[in-house]
Amino acid sequence: MSDAPTAGESADILLVEDNPGDVRLTKEAFKNSRLTSTLHVVTDGDEALNFLYQRGDHADKSRPDVMLLDLNLPRTNGDEVLERIRNDDQFQYLPVVVLTSSRAEEDVVRSYELDANAYLTKPVDPDEFIEAVRRFESFWLDAVRLPPEEVKR
């Protein structure tokens, strides 16, 4: 896709999140969207890397337009996922938004050192969480111009 999706267009979003409650809230936030986003969910860092590299069960999946990445993940953590993909030229244009419960300054700094595009702290209140995801969607999928399809390959 050469521009940010508009109403009626589709965006592929990879959510890397191990908390079932946060997955449910994120799905709820996208459910009533005016954009027809496809939300792919993986629950650990290893599965995220398999999805991105189109390995195993994810061989037929398309590359996402944007990734929402939790830091506190089982197996390979979010920092490691971010570091691995930022060291691989084929993912240099993939927008990665860290979406985590951590408010620790060192996590914020580390994420930006690893070239995260944004760092969002998950609100504790469910309604505020849904609103934060909707703001993410409004900005990243409606206002921002994403890289053309050919550079995502």
pLDDT in tens, 81-138: 999 999 999 998 999 999 999 999 999 999 999 999 999 999 899 989 888 888 888 8
Q: For residue 145, what is the DSSP state?
A: P
Instruction: With H, G, I as helix, E, B as strand and everything else as coil, classify residue 18.
Output: coil
The domain defined by 12-147 folds into Rossmann fold (3.40.50)
What stretch of H or E contains 69?
strand 66-69
Average pLDDT over residues 40-63: 96
Count, residues in the chain:
153
Residue 4 has pLDDT above 60, yes or no: no
pTM, two decimals, is: 0.88
Cα–Cα distance, 153 to 149 (Å, whole number): 7
Residue 39 has pLDDT above 80, yes or no: yes
Neighbours of 144 (CB within 10 A): 13
pLDDT of 151: 64
Cα–Cα distance, 69 to 134 (Å, whole number): 16
Share of residues in the chain with pLDDT > 90 (%): 64
Residue 76 has pLDDT above 90, yes or no: yes
How confident is residue 152, by pLDDT bands cut at 50, 70 and 90? Answer: low
Which residues is 42 bridged to in the sheet? Answer: 16
